[in-house]
């Protein structure tokens, strides 16, 4: 798979590109150094993740995955590295929105759930079909770190392997907004603009860093760092 890291004015775009369904050949689907540098650009106000063509991402290429099982240790290391890529998105201090059209399955759904927000086309299909193939999600789909999918819904999706439409996905917490297919990208951009309007990129990053600390650190450590970040924001606002 090719992953394009593009600038579009003050927004960035991450485009998954492997036609026709943008399936992932290996867990390490992007260069972690390039992705980290891209997200760290101080002038970036937000990022939209999308798929080239009709689909967001149809999940892992199953044949390539089964070949990887010939070397379990190497595959395990690759899966851990793939999870690191998703952690870069989840912990990003620039807001990241997934713009979902068509298929968003398996690893594709794991990518989408690592974003801060998800906008889906009315015709989108989402799910974890791995169990129908004798597998389980391998990039964090069983853990759900930080997303809003409740335990009941996650259990249903994981055990049945069924695909759900956008409206049901919204009721489960998989997506946040449902719009016509032609409006997905513009709706994602509108959300980013609403989040960042009249706020400096630096302030947005400070806010998201404080929230990230709350998820990752013991409460007292997160509160102590919040104080430091408050002072940083106040000093920057004074300048």
Last residue of a domain, one of 195, 212, 229: 195
Co-location of 95 and 156 in the same domain: yes
Low-confidence ranges of the chain (pLDDT < 70): none
Co-location of 118 and 207 in the same domain: no
Co-location of 65 and 44 in the same domain: yes
Co-location of 169 and 217 in the same domain: no
What's the pLDDT at 121?
Answer: 98
Looking at the chain, the whole-number percentage of residues with pLDDT higher than 70 is 100
Co-location of 176 and 225 in the same domain: no
What's the pLDDT at 239?
Answer: 74
- Our answer to whether residue 63 is catalytic in this structure is no
Q: What angle do CA 232, 86, 83 make, to 5 degrees?
A: 125
What's the pLDDT at 158?
Answer: 96
Co-location of 140 and 113 in the same domain: yes
The whole domain housing 205 covers 198-238
Co-location of 176 and 65 in the same domain: yes
What's the pLDDT at 105?
Answer: 98
Co-location of 174 and 225 in the same domain: no
Co-location of 153 and 218 in the same domain: no
What's the pLDDT at 98?
Answer: 98
pTM above 0.85, yes or no: yes
Give the count of domains, the chain.
2
- Our answer to whether residue 220 is catalytic in this structure is no
CATH (domain of 63): 3.90.226.10
pLDDT digits (tens, 9 = 90+) for 68-121: 778 889 999 999 999 999 999 999 999 999 999 999 999 999 999 999 999 999
What's the pLDDT at 59?
Answer: 95
What's the pLDDT at 156?
Answer: 95
Q: Which one from 110, 122, 167, 168 is the annotated catalytic residue?
A: 110
Cα–Cα distance measured from residue 59 to residue 78, given in angstroms and rounded to the nearest whole number: 16
Q: Which one from 130, 167, 226, 236 is the annotated catalytic residue?
A: 130
């Amino acid at each position: 798979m090719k992953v394009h890291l593009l600038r579009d004015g003050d927004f960035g775009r991450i485009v998954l590109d492997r036609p026709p369904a943008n399936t992932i050949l290996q867990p390490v689907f992007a260069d972690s150094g390039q992705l980290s540098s891209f997200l760290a650009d101080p002038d970036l106000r937000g990022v939209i993740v999308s798929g080239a063509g009709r689909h967001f991402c149809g999940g892992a290429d199953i044949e390539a995955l089964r070949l990887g099982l010939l070397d379990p240790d190497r595959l395990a290391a690759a899966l851990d590295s793939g999870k690191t890529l998703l952690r870069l998105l989840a912990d990003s201090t620039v807001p990241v929105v997934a713009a979902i059209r068509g298929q968003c399955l398996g690893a594709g759904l794991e990518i989408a759930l690592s974003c801060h927000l998800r906008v889906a086309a009315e015709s989108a299909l989402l799910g974890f079909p791995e169990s129908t193939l004798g597998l389980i999600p391998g990039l964090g789909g069983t853990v759900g770190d930080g997303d809003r999918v409740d335990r009941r819904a996650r259990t249903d999706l994981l055990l049945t392997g069924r695909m759900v439409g956008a409206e049901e996905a919204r009721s489960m917490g998989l997506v946040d907004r449902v719009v016509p297919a032609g409006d997905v990208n513009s709706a994602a951009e509108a959300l980013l603009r609403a989040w960042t309007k009249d706020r400096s990129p630096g302030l947005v990053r400070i806010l998201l860093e404080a929230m990230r600390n709350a998820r990752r650190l013991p409460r007292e450590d997160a509160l102590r760092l919040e104080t430091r970040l408050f002072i940083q924001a106040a000093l920057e606002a004074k300048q």
